[in-house]
Amino acid sequence: EFQREDSVGIVRSMELADDTGVIRVTLWDEKAETPLNIGDAVKIKNPRVRYRNENLELSLGRNSQIEVIKGEIKDLPSFEEIEEMVYPYKNISDLDEESENVKISGELTDLYGDRIISYRCPRCNTRLDIGEENICNFCGEAIDEPRHLLMIPGRVADETGEIRVTFFGREAEKLLGMKTEEIVDVINKTGDEGALHDKVEDLNGVHVTVIGNVNFDEYNEELRFNPKKIVDIKF
């Protein structure tokens, strides 16, 4: 959810793939509430096509339609076949800045759990420094209740190398087996932002398979893997 001037909006994003490639799709308001599951075959009508971050994207609003298609679809590969085509495996040593929609497998290392909740402005999503006056320094919004972003930084290592990674939101929830609201409740009750430090530390050594993109982190002068989805966890 996000706050408009006079109403609350809803936005949801996903990726759509066939045997020719993959495209990002953004669903707005009532379209964002369409019940969808990973692996569903869908038909989209009248989307808005836009160019963003050097890629084409589909945007579905009031005048667009999205329909879940039941059963097998002729000439469309299975979900598993599509996944292998559009998300190829790569060794960590083979990753570079051009690596997009790649799948890596390895062990979690160097996970850091002292401060895993980032407080954000619900209006503009800028990071907040929580104090006596909760006012966003960017947009000037007075904050009654900040948005909470769960984040777990660390690394993924395989037999060829390792790479920096940060898990956000739902993917971080998968690792911890907890919802963000539950984590915030624990922190609020204990008054300790590092209340789940030990739980995060226990994840070191866990084997994960992750889909994501790679970029160069100029601050740390190294490659960073940006996870889109954890497809497998072996605790």
Percent of the chain predicted with pLDDT > 90: 69
Residue 88 has pLDDT above 70, yes or no: yes
Q: What are phi and psi of 26, to 5 degrees?
A: -115, 130
Pick the closest to residue 166 from 96, 105, 110, 209 (CA basis): 110
Q: Which fold has domain 2-85?
A: OB fold (Dihydrolipoamide Acetyltransferase, E2P) (2.40.50)
Query: Rounded mean pLDDT of the chain?
Result: 92
pLDDT in tens, 23-45: 999 999 899 999 999 889 999 99
Averaged pLDDT for residues 168-180 = 97
Extents of the domains making up the chain: 2-85, 87-234
Q: Which fold has domain 87-234?
A: OB fold (Dihydrolipoamide Acetyltransferase, E2P) (2.40.50)
- What pLDDT band is residue 55 in, cutting at 50, 70 and 90? confident
Domains 2-85 and 87-234 share a fold: yes
Residues 6+ apart with CB under 8 A from 69: 40, 41, 42, 43
- d(Cα 124, Cα 120) in Å, to the nearest integer? 8
Residue 3 has pLDDT above 80, yes or no: no
Residues 6+ apart with CB under 8 A from 158: 91, 92, 104, 105, 106, 107
Pick the closest to residue 88 from 77, 75, 102 (CA basis): 102
Residue 132 has pLDDT above 60, yes or no: no
Buried-state track 181-211, b at ≥16 Cβ within 10 A, e below 16:
eebeeebeeeeeeebbbebbeebeeeebbbb
Q: Which helix (H) or strand (E) holds 222?
A: strand 222-234
Contact 88, 81 (CB under 8 A): no
> In which order are the strands placed within the sheet that holds 11-18?
11-18, 21-28, 55-60, 48-52
User: What is the residue-wise DSSP string for 17-48?
Assistant: EETTEEEEEEEEGGGGGS---TT-EEEEESPE
pLDDT given for residue 107 in this prediction: 98
pLDDT in tens, 178-207: 999 999 999 999 999 999 999 999 999 999
